[in-house]
Structures are given as structure tokens and as C-alpha cells.
Amino acid sequence: MDYRFKKQIFGFMDLLRFKKLVPNRRRHLEEGSPTHLPESYRVNDTAAVLHPGPQKAVLSEIIRQTADTKTYTFDLTSPMFFRAGQYVTVRAEIDGAIVQRPYAVSSSPLTALREKKLSVTVKKAGYFSGWLFENAKEGDEFTVGDPSGDFYHDGIRDSFHVVGIAGGSGITPFYSMAQAVKEGSEDFDLTLIYGARTLKDIAFADKLKALTGDKFRFVCVLSDEKQEGFEHGFITADIIKKYAASDDFTAMMCGPEAMYKFVGKELESLGITGKRVRKEANCIGNRDVKPVEYNLKVSIGGENFEIKARSDETILTAMERAGLKVPSKCRAGGCGYCHSKLVSGKYTISGIDKRRLADSKFSYIHPCCSYPDSDMELIVPNG
Ligand code: FES
């Protein structure tokens, strides 16, 4: 009974409060400042400047680094904020098709912010990189996407000491990190061990040497020739131990899969495993099967297309080859940017399935790392 009585009292008071609602609101409005709220806030303006989204960029310089590697520098429309180690997508129209690829940034974060310049270093391999190598010239216009990826030093996740292990063109993100450590836009200690076959295959050698100091050391390991001042052989546990600034380090690797396998075992023998080993994902290429042609029905933004897809190439490549504008960033199954609804059909995922549980449960696939095994039907977001 008590409870019901109290409830009635409170109900009555609630009614009073309700009656005062409008007069109270009027009073607050009258007491308010006559100045209008700003149409934009500095924090939002700054965020818009630092994260401009995909932007037009003019290719301003091409420098050959090695026989099969060139650095492309773009003049950006807007300044860009990125973490050293991240990648951007570079997009161009080739023979009527919109094609884009992710490339690790090789220039420093401050150069993109202050001078609106950004460089990527590209090895001549694959369709888009080969096209760039042969056709791109200064003055050409491209679209450069937002910086993406988590291959950068994170003070919460990673040790202060980092051993960077690079193979071939995998040197690119580390060159950006070494510049960032030097200029002070990143704060960690980096020992970079760079594996190459011969002296001629080393990109940025002199520039990396010039950046060495308290927080950056550079070691080169040549597998196919002996040179004074260089280690010879492969990147073994002994070499890592010899040069690492501390026993407590995070290993960050960027290079070919074969290097990940070999160096992964060497790191294991040093007790460096799990989250202390980080690898930059490589783009998924063709698979080694006899090509079979399937029909692929694709719906993009309500428009329907019917194209051919080969069993040896990813579904993303098939859509791009057919001239469809589809979303992609990492091309390695990790970012989820290309995730598309599977209506019907069979497919095989290259390597580890990196989809979120909900995606696999509700039949979403990542076309960038999936190969068709039958006729298929997909709903793809706008590119
Ligand atoms: S493009 Fe990143 S998951 Fe497909």
C-alpha cells in the first residue's frame, strides 16, 4: 500500500514538472546568449584539413631507385596527415577502367602536411605497377586516397624498441619511419635490418645511412655478394640479436612471404612471438589453377551487370577488368573496405579468412581475396 501511495505522490509531482516544462524552456531561451552558434568548429575544420578524403594529385617527380623500383612524388591538393608506415591508394584510369592499388608511403609525414607532397616507391610487378613503370610521366593526374593500415608504431601496442625487418621494396614504410623518427613526428627507437640480394638492389641506402643517429640504426644484409661494411647471408636470429637495441622489442616485417616464414622462425628462437611480431600484408595476386571462366552477376548501387570472372584471379580483379567502379583499399582481405554481400555461388579465400564473424555469418565476402569456384551473384557497395 505504501508503495502505491508514494507512486501517486510522485506521479502528481511529475505532472507539475511537466506543466513547468514549456515556461522553463522559454526562460532558458531568454537567458541564452543572443550570439548564434558557430557554423563550424575549429576541431572539425582541422579534422577536415588533415583528412581530406580521396584527392586529386599531380605526379611531379619520378626517381629511379633500383633497376625495378621507382619513387613517384605527387603534389597533393590538400595537406594530409598520416602515420609513418601507412599506405595510400593510387587510382588512375587505364584503357577505360578505373584501377587502383595500395602503396606504402615512402616520404615523411611532415612533408605531406607542410609541403603537400607525398611519395610512394613502387616495384615493377603486376598490372598497375607495371603500367606506372612504363607509362606514368610528370604532370599526369591521379587520385590519391586516404592513408590506411595499422603498420605503424603504436606506443600502447608496441614496445618502444622496434626492429624493422625489410625485404626488397618492403623498405618503403621503414624509410618513412626513419625520416619521421629523425624529424620528431614519431617517437620510438628503430633498428632497421634490410635484406637484399646485392648492393645494386638496395633502395635509399645513402639516405638511410644519413638518417642514422641515437634513435635509428641501419644494417644491410646481402645474400648474394660479400661487401665490406655489410652483413652477408640471410636475416638470422644472430644478426637480429647483434643489432637490436634491447631484448624487449617489437619486430615489424615488410617484404615477401618467404621472408616472413624464414625470419618468423628466427624470431621465435629469440622468444619474439605473438603480438610482438607484426607483418605488413601483401596484396593478393592470382592463384595457381587452370583458369575456368564463370558468370558473375554484380549489383552496384541498384545497377546490374553481368561479367566474366576467371577462377585464377580474384573477384575484385575480374570486376575491375570489366570496368566496374568498385571499392578497395588493402587488397589483402584485412580492411573490409570491399566487403560485399554474396547472393549465390562458391568461392575460395586466399590464405587466412580475415572477415569479422558477423560478415561470414551473414554471407559477406571480401572480393579482393576471394576466387570464384562457380557462377556467382554479388551485391557490391559503390566504389
Ligand atoms: S580491399 Fe581491404 S578487405 Fe578488400
**pLDDT (tens digit per residue) in 121-165:** 999 988 889 999 999 999 999 999 999 999 999 999 999 999 999
Q: Which residues contact 263 (CB under 8 A, 6 or more apart)?
A: 165, 235, 240, 251, 253
What one-letter code names the amino acid at 42?
R
Most informative mutation of 337, 340, 364 for ligand 1 (most atoms within 8 A of CB) = 337
Residue 1 has pLDDT above 70, yes or no: no
Say what the pLDDT of residue 325 is. Answer: 87
Residue 218 has pLDDT above 80, yes or no: yes
Rg (CA), the chain: 27
Note the pLDDT tens digit of each residue in 238-267.
Answer: 999 999 999 999 999 999 999 999 999 999
Say what the pLDDT of residue 94 is. Answer: 85
Note the pLDDT tens digit of each residue in 306-354.
Answer: 999 999 999 999 998 898 989 999 999 999 999 999 999 999 999 889 9
Separation of alpha carbons 87 and 296, rounded Å: 30
Separation of alpha carbons 357 and 291, rounded Å: 30
Burial state string for 318-331 with b = 16 or more CB within 10 A and e = fewer than 16: bbbbbebebbbbbb
Most informative mutation of 87, 101, 146, 338 for ligand 1 (most atoms within 8 A of CB) = 338
Atom number in ligand 1 closest to CA 327: 1
Say what the pLDDT of residue 8 is. Answer: 58
* Pocket lined around ligand 1, Cβ cut-off 6 Å: 328-331, 333-338, 366, 368
Read off the pLDDT band of 15 (50, 70, 90).
confident
Atom number in ligand 1 closest to CA 366: 4
- Output the CA–CA distances (angstroms, integers) from residue 323 to 36, 280, 319, in the order listed: 49, 29, 7
223 Cα: distance to centroid of ligand 1 (angstroms): 33
Report the 10 Å Cβ neighbour count for 26: 10
End-to-end CA distance of the chain: 65
Question: Domains in the chain, ordered, with CATH?
Answer: 49-144 (2.40.30.10), 161-279 (3.40.50.80), 293-380 (3.10.20.30)
Starting at the edge strand found earlier in the chain, the sheet holding 231-232 runs 231-232, 216-222, 189-196, 161-167, 249-254, 277-279
Atom number in ligand 1 closest to CA 336: 3
Residue positions counted in the chain:
383
Instruction: Look up the pTM and report it.
Output: 0.85
Cell of 325: 567502379
Separation of alpha carbons 104 and 283, rounded Å: 12
153 Cα: distance to centroid of ligand 1 (angstroms): 22
282 Cα: distance to centroid of ligand 1 (angstroms): 11
Average pLDDT over residues 4-17: 63
